[in-house]
Amino acid sequence: MINVTQCESDEVARHLKLSSFDFEKKYIEKSIGGQLIINTIPCHFLSENKCTIYEHRFNECRAFPHLHKPNFSDRLFGTLIHYSICPIIFNVVEQLKIETGFKS
C-alpha cells in the first residue's frame, strides 16, 4: 500500500496527461478516512522492475524500502512481500542472513 497526497496524485495525473478525476478513478483508492492510496502490489507503475513514473514518483516511493525508519522487525511482513522485486530489500535481507547465521 502506497499513501499518496492529493498534490502527488495531481502531479502524476498531469504527467500522464490525465485529468485528476480519471487518474484517481484508474489508479487510486480512497480509504474510509479519505486517505489516497495505491494498494496494488506490484504498483501500477512498476514495469520490468522499474518505475515508469520515476521522476514523478510519490514521496513514499522515494523513501522505499523505508529501512531508515524505526521498528524494522515490526515491518518484516511488508518487507518480505517486496523481497523478490526490490534489489535493495533483497540485498539487505541476504546480508542479515549472513550476519545472523541464518540457515535455510
Considering the entire predicted model, what is its pTM?
Answer: 0.71
Q: Rounded to the nearest 5 degrees, what angle is found at the Cα of 79, between the Cα atoms of 78 and 81?
A: 65
Give me the domain span that covers residue 71.
66-104
Identify whether residues 42 and 15 lie together within a single domain: yes
Identify whether residues 99 and 59 lie together within a single domain: no
Condensed to tens digits (0 to 9), the pLDDT of residues 78-96 reads 778 878 877 778 888 899 8
Q: Identify the pLDDT of residue 43.
A: 86
Condensed to tens digits (0 to 9), the pLDDT of residues 51-76 reads 899 999 999 888 877 777 788 777 77
Count of domains forming the chain: 2
Identify whether residues 95 and 83 lie together within a single domain: yes
Identify whether residues 70 and 60 lie together within a single domain: no
